Structure 1
């Protein structure tokens, strides 16, 4: 643990919040907590520096919902066919629509124009609807390194394996630490297990 210096990463309030989390989770004694906080502040400073040195990955545009995209193509085709109807076919269609309307409404060219407008509107709306595929963000190399080193410090300071007991209370502690530090690091058990299971 001699490699850990003591940069002032935490404010006094943040420091107290981490100590409170350790106490509430029943982790460590006074000396172990003191050394763990030194290690934690060092690694937080290193992680923030590494994160700043790496550009954010390019975010690819979401593709349209495939079912709605197919519907959009059909609607566009239907609207084009209505617009391109020969005059005779158009008259026949409008007469049939008028004669079969249960309210006796008259259907004319203005009606067809309105139908084409609505079909086009629906087609455009279909193409704007994105396919939502909720996905758990992957941990980057900087996040994996940070979690691994914090888990090692946990093991050394508290003589407890972070992967024992299904990862508790280490995972709960890590969630509290990221919240207190304002770090956007996903803390999900399924992603943490491969990292913490090999420590201790």
Structure 2
């Protein structure tokens, strides 16, 4: 019995293969090889928004694979986290899938998560962490995460302060506009105080 084994199969290996027996007359068997590329897919949209302190759950499926992957690596901002003991995370692999769970999400959990299975094309998802309705922005240059907005009470405070400054500015402009007109009236003066005559 003769076998043909091809390692590290690529798309260039596709096509028809012939197995010919040295008999008289010769006997040939033809086989068609079709190469498919397995790829990972994370369920859900490409961007995910979650609340501070909640639970992050990501589920990755390997599609078009001829056999289950030997391993699945998870990355957070290009750093593998499968064996990270500094975080409260849990990774579970079952057959063609792998799940990542992180409890009590904080600002540092925001970023890009990548699912990279063995012999499959990797995929990623961007996670945003927010406090209520105020999301945070990602600083991709340093790999850090900082809030893009302050809590609502702080925003209200600054909005009220801005309104007060705007009101004072409007009053100043109104006085400057009326100053030529008021200065022409001899009986009214805003800048001098006069005493009654005795």
Q: TM-score normalized by structure 1?
A: 0.20
**Structure ranking higher in strand proportion:** 2
* Structure with more relative contact order (C-alpha pairs < 8 Å, separation 6 or more): 1
**Structure ranking higher in helix proportion:** 1
